[in-house]
Amino acid sequence: MKETGHESFLDKFKKHSLDRTLILLQFNKPLHKSEQTKKVVITCFESNGLLKIKLVRYSETQAFTTVHDTDEIGQIFAKWSPSFGQIILHANPDIECILLQSKNGTITILNKKLTKKVNQAQTHNDVKQYKIPVEAPFLKDLGIVNASGNISQGQGDKWRQIQRYIDLLIIVLPIDKNEKLHIIDMGCGKGYLTFALYHYLASNQFTNFVVTGIDIRADLVTKCNQMASTHKFKNLKFLQGDIESINSLNPNMVIALHACDTATDKAIQYGIENHAKWIITAPCCHKYVRKNMGGGTFKPYLKDGIMEERLAEWLTDSIRKLHMEENGYQVKITEFISPEHTAKNLMLIATLSGRKNSAAHTSKVELMQWAGLKEWIY
């Protein structure tokens, strides 16, 4: 029986996938304008020693990712091949095969030698390489990714927050991946960002690290410990307690993300007193300053609640920055997540320099006096 163009191309797809030589398979140029999917890109990756197929489907405005077993290769190809006028296969060593298909069903196959070397890490120009890939198994347990391997409905903001969080922490992580890291995540909640950080460290050859999540809610701590055990995250544990009850952990990185009101300040002080090398905070509400500021010079201008709230935010985070600088830290304030996704969008990243800063102390006192704040939390 004569083999059709689609069948011979499918054979190449199967062979290079199973041989682990496939770089990419890409479906381009939809044959019909009504086709909602404009492009499909397929790559291979290994997960726990098993070969998996990653499929990214593009509409006009979105990308949808699914993960498949290798026994689904035939079904995948049969589903998408009739709808596109061009199918490109890149494989090692230097193989390029192109299937051209007209609307009347005429098929032409071109076999070429790649003139430009394509790295498997750079499978195509359009798929963004996320620091925490959608295939990370803990994402399903947390409900961020659904059973089909797509971002769950309503979880897009959390997904973006995870990626941005890792992007920011990469800046401060040590170059020497053997350097000892003991990271404490204060008020970790359900552990979205705690698990993401652990996964990044474990996946990027950091060899000497421990991550401890702390939360006051016993049910969340139990659930997070069960997840850590399920995924064999042996250097990740969760403890029940608050910031003031945790002793003798000797962290060199303290993280507090969206800890409510003065809990952020308690975490900062905990980091300072333990001489943590890094203190990472993303402040939540700013009730303390808003309730206690009493500067008469600006009060008449704060009749609108939103203006009072914004001033309280600015004062709180400025005083926090100066407080850490006073105690020997270099501090950078940056945007954590775009205000489009959350109003809690600032992150303070402090790195221990060891040099006390008397000028920062003076500035802190002056700012507090201007705001009518008689005392700070510490």
Read off the pLDDT of residues 338-365 as tens digits, 9 standing for 90 and up. 544 445 578 999 999 989 999 999 999 9
Q: Are residues 142 and 116 part of one domain?
A: no
pLDDT of the residue at 329: 97
**Quick check: is 60 in a domain?**
yes
**Quick check: is 87 in a domain?**
yes
326 with 350: CB under 8 angstroms? no
Q: Are residues 323 and 222 part of one domain?
A: yes
Residue-wise pLDDT tens digits, 92-137: 877 889 999 998 888 888 887 765 555 444 443 444 567 888 888 8
3-state secondary structure of 267: helix
d(CA 135, CA 45): 10
Instruction: Show the CA angle centred on residue 80, arms to residues 78 and 86, nearest 5°.
Output: 115
CB atoms within 10 A of CB 200: 19
**Quick check: is 276 in a domain?**
yes
Closest CA to 37 of 105, 84, 88, 72: 84
d(CA 273, CA 210): 20
215 with 188: CB under 8 angstroms? yes
Q: Are residues 333 and 226 part of one domain?
A: yes
Number of domains making up the chain: 2
**Quick check: is 377 in a domain?**
no
d(CA 92, CA 90): 7
pLDDT of the residue at 297: 65
d(CA 177, CA 117): 30
pLDDT of the residue at 311: 81
Q: pTM higher than 0.85, yes or no?
A: no
Q: Are residues 164 and 48 part of one domain?
A: no
Q: What values do phi and psi take at 214, rounded to 5?
A: -125, 130
**Quick check: is 219 in a domain?**
yes
Residue 289 is part of a domain; what is its CATH number? 3.40.50.150
3-state secondary structure of 304: coil
Q: Are residues 184 and 143 part of one domain?
A: yes
d(CA 314, CA 56): 42
Q: Are residues 142 and 98 part of one domain?
A: no
pLDDT tens string, the chain, 378 residues long: the values are 334 578 888 888 888 888 788 888 999 999 988 888 999 999 988 776 678 889 988 887 777 888 888 889 999 999 999 999 999 998 887 788 999 999 888 888 888 776 555 544 444 344 456 788 888 889 999 999 888 777 888 888 888 889 889 989 988 888 888 999 999 999 999 999 999 999 999 988 899 999 999 999 999 999 999 999 999 999 999 999 987 777 778 899 999 987 776 788 889 999 999 999 999 998 776 666 777 777 656 666 666 777 777 888 888 889 999 999 999 999 999 888 654 444 557 899 999 998 999 999 999 999 888 888 877 776
pLDDT of the residue at 299: 65
Q: Are residues 329 and 184 part of one domain?
A: yes
Q: Are residues 187 and 97 part of one domain?
A: no
Q: Are residues 163 and 92 part of one domain?
A: no
**Quick check: is 155 in a domain?**
yes
d(CA 178, CA 265): 31
pLDDT of the residue at 235: 96
Closest CA to 119 of 97, 90, 87: 90
**Quick check: is 131 in a domain?**
no
Q: Are residues 295 and 209 part of one domain?
A: yes
Q: Are residues 161 and 81 part of one domain?
A: no
Q: Residue 283: which domain range?
A: 138-371
3-state secondary structure of 311: helix
Q: Are residues 205 and 96 part of one domain?
A: no
**Quick check: is 129 in a domain?**
no
